[in-house]
Amino acid sequence: MSTLKLIIGLGNPGAQYTNNRHNIGFQTVELFAQRHKLELSKFQMQARLGDGWVQRASQRQKVLLVKPLTYMNNSGQAVGQLVRYYKVTPADLIVIHDDLDLEFGKLRVRASGSSGGQNGIKSIIDHLGSQDFARIRVGIGRPPGRMDPAAYVLQDFSKADEEIFGPLREKICDAVECWLFEGITPTMNKFNGS
């Protein structure tokens, strides 16, 4: 159980994007880092990184937390370089990202699959040459009325949204821990029903 696992949150770098819906991946990786007292203090391969151990009961798992700094649509550039550098397989990755097509405030854990139109995931698939990596899709719902989806994802979460997404980020961290120690199938069974 000692192989390195990469926990990748997708988002856009820069203070203006910090609280955006599109940055739910970054937000969750930061929360996971706080929870496990890991520092996101390294910069390597176009990404901000934090590494260390996650402990659960008597089990330990070495992790690398990853925030690609390439902007969402080019996330695969950073992820591809890191996968090659650390000699991990796609099965050692979990990617957290926003999803317009999933109901607001829902999460779905997937073992693999297409990008579903999410450009960050598409970029990772292109750079890895594989769809076989776990991901946690976080539902942000569709934009209201005729609003442009690109504008919608770059809006900040409102105070009302945070009442849902605050607890949801904690739940995503729980799902990542489950994946680390129990694997993808138990994680899907446990978190996809809720």
Residues with Cβ within 8 Å of 43's Cβ and at least 6 positions away in sequence, in order, are 49, 69
Q: Assign residue 165 a region: left if phi > 0, alpha if psi is -120 to 50, beta otherwise?
A: alpha
Count of alpha carbons within 13 angstroms of residue 122, beta-carbon side: 8
Count of domains for the chain: 1
**Whole domain around residue 82: which residue ranges?**
5-191
% of the chain with per-residue pLDDT over 90: 96
pLDDT at 193: 73
pTM for this model (two decimals): 0.96
Mean pLDDT of 4-24: 97
User: Annotated catalytic, 127?
Assistant: no
Q: Find tokens 């996330």 and name the residue.
A: 75
- Number of residues that this document lists for the chain: 194
For the record, the structure tokens of 121 come out as 């995931």
Model pLDDT, residue 1: 45
Query: Alpha carbon of 94 to those of 14, 60, 81, 148: distances in Å?
Result: 23, 17, 16, 29
Q: Is the pLDDT of residue 15 over 80?
A: yes
Q: Which tens digit of pLDDT belongs to each residue from 41-77?
A: 999 999 999 999 999 999 999 999 999 999 999 999 9
Tokens representing 144 are 């209201």
CATH assignment of the domain containing 100:
3.40.50.1470
Non-local (6+) Cβ contacts of 150 within 8 A are none
* Residue carrying structure tokens 């442009």: 148
Q: What is the pLDDT of residue 194?
A: 56
What mean pLDDT value characterizes the chain? 96
Q: Are 137 and 102 in contact (CB under 8 A)?
A: yes
Catalytic residue, from 22, 36, 97, 127: name it. 22
Question: Which H/E stretch holds residue 47?
Answer: strand 47-56
Sign of the torsion angle spanned by Cα atoms 10, 118, 5, 81: negative
Summarised one tens digit per residue, pLDDT across range 72-110 is: 999 999 999 999 999 999 999 999 999 999 999 999 999
